[in-house]
Amino acid sequence: MAIAKAERLMNLALCLLGTRRPLSKRELRDSIEAYVEASRAGGVGSRPDSGAASDDSFNRMFERDKDDLRELGLVIETVESLDGEIGYLARRDSNRLPPITLDAEEAAALGLAAKVWQQARLAGAASGALQKLRAAGLPEDVDPYEAHGALEPRIPVHEAAFEPLMLACRDRRPVVFDYRKATAARPEPRHVEPWALECWRGHWYLAGFDRDRGAERVFRLSRITGRVRSRGAGFTAPVPDVVTVRETVASWAGETADRSALIRLRTGAGYPLRAKATAVRELADGWDELEIPYGHGLDAWLVEFGPDVVVLEPAELRADVVDRLRAVAKG
């Protein structure tokens, strides 16, 4: 649903729920900003000075909006006054949700989910949701962490690009941003139709359709520089039913490995590489020797560690890393 229409429906619903007496079409038209602005701009009529046409267009728009709200479950009453004027209202007692009952496990699970978000715009929404859960049945003495035997969960959101990309994914709006690849010296503009955001091992990634390259791509948010700008045009490529963000990133990091690589790593550096190592041998010159799984994309990942990593074998991996470093140096 378009944002403008959703906002208009929300305002209409609030007017109908907030009134103590039936409101006429004229009163609703004068009270809802979207209707007022559309009338002034001629959006609900063929011409701003054509009153009859404007009224007909408004009536059609209002009837569609009213039908949409009823399909969404809002009970709207039509009341005729003594002078024959038709009015509308939505009584709160007719539109009140039934009581929500949660057992201890269900309440704890929802409470745990609400606690996850601690940053960005979602923090306030999560906090409000937790309060509603308390009112709906989450007992004060139920600790969601003890109920699930887990530590307090957190999803870190440090990148400024997260929020605009989250909204763009939700609203299906193409975006433009500057992106610096691991092997590039400077960022380049990317025109993307965003599909999904996913967190993998502490980093956020965006999957979407890269218009310039005409193919699906995955972007790491920490490599987005500057501001994310929205583009009004709609999507040009179909959105897949399943977006495999983690699988794509895992292939970059050599998670789908079928061989082993031998590298030297500076002491105290490269913790992610150490976590993946199948064997570590301390050297005497401030370096360690590691054996790590080797698969597609490992060369791009090793380049990120710069001078702290030296590839010993296999030879083709060493050559790929050297080529990428030279490309960065030339840029």
| CATH architecture of the domain covering 162-245 | Roll (2.30)
- How confident is the model over 248-263, as a mean pLDDT? 72
Domain 3-94 has CATH 1.10.10: yes
Residue 312 has pLDDT above 80, yes or no: yes
- Name the pairing type of β-strands 175-179 and 188-200: antiparallel
Q: Answer yes or no: are the C-beta atoms of 314 and 259 closer than 8 Å.
A: yes
The model scores a pTM over 0.75: no
pLDDT tens for residues 10-51? Answer: 889 988 988 888 999 888 888 887 777 666 655 444 444 455
Nearest to 221 by CA among 190, 257, 258: 190
Report the greatest alpha carbon distance in the chain: 98
Write the DSSP symbol of residue 152. Answer: P
Q: Answer yes or no: are the C-beta atoms of 255 and 305 closer than 8 Å.
A: no
Q: Answer yes or no: are the C-beta atoms of 57 and 124 closer than 8 Å.
A: no
Q: What is the C-alpha to C-alpha distance for residues 234 and 250, in angstroms, rounded to an integer?
A: 30
Q: Give the range among 82-86, 100-104, 148-152, 208-212 with minimum mean pLDDT.
A: 148-152
The pLDDT-based confidence of 134 (bands split at 50, 70, 90) is: low
Apex 217 CA angle, 211 and 223, nearest 5: 100
Instruction: For residue 220, give both structure tokens.
Output: 């790491």
The pLDDT-based confidence of 156 (bands split at 50, 70, 90) is: low
Instruction: For residue 28, give both structure tokens.
Output: 């609703």
**Domain boundaries, given as residue ranges, for the chain:** 3-94, 104-148, 162-245, 253-330
